Amino acid sequence: MNDVLDKIDLKIIQLLQKDAKMKIKEIAAALKMTNTPIFDRIKKLEKANVIMGYSARIDKEKVGLHLVAFCSITLDKHNQSNIKQFETEVKKLEEVIECYHIAGMVDYLLKVVAKDMIEYQAFIATKLAALANIGRVQSSFVMTAVKDDGVLQLL
């Protein structure tokens, strides 16, 4: 797929971000088009990995995950093998739901979910501390999620 998405593609993406279960027929009606071109466009967007997949947004509280923390990580040594090793290992930690390699005062920012502070403390002590090359860990805890919709504004 070329690098340029037209307005119809962007509208399709916008609709699917808000409701991934939206049917082809509903998208076509919203865009005043027929089903076939909508279906074809969605398949092209999927094949090009513009649409990388579909998932359900879950209320963390309702599934017993009451604590969300942002964990800032600074590595001791910054060479390619240490960075690759850290990234490989952190991907295996189920409590880590997002991980970003960032520029600035720290090297990585992790979004971590846990049942409570006791579970989070165990995660830090037994799993995160077990990773090689970690120099410093600083945690910030979410008090309230002000905006957490994950929708990209494309139009």
Q: Is residue 52 part of a domain?
A: no
Residue 56 lies in a domain: no
Do 19 and 41 belong together in one domain? Answer: yes
Residue 155's pLDDT is 80
Tell whether 25 and 88 lie within a shared domain.
no
**Are the beta carbons of 120 and 114 closer than 8 angstroms?**
yes
136 and 80 in one domain?
Answer: yes
Domain count, the chain: 2
- pLDDT for res 86: 96
Q: Which domain holds residue 96?
A: 61-141
> Which amino acid is present at 50?
V
Supply φ then ψ for residue 135, to 5 degrees. Answer: -95, -40
Q: Domain for residue 69, yes or no?
A: yes
What is the domain-level CATH number for residue 87? 3.30.70.920
| In-domain check, residue 33 | yes
Distance between CA atoms of residues 12 and 97, nearest Å: 27
Instruction: Clarify whether residues 73 and 40 are in a common domain.
Output: no
Query: Is 155 a domain residue?
Result: no
The tokens for 93 are 């930690």
Alpha carbons within 13 angstroms on the beta-carbon side of residue 139 total: 17
Same domain, 22 and 76: no
Residues 15, 68: one domain?
Answer: no
pLDDT of residue 3: 67
Average pLDDT of adjacent 10-residue blocks, the chain of 155 residues? 82 95 97 97 96 93 96 94 96 97 96 98 96 95 91 84
Residue 154 in domain? no
What pLDDT shows up at residue 1?
52
| Per-residue burial over 95-111, b = 16 or more CB atoms within 10 Å of its CB, e = otherwise | bbeebeeeeeebbbbbe
Tell me, what's the pLDDT at 149? 83
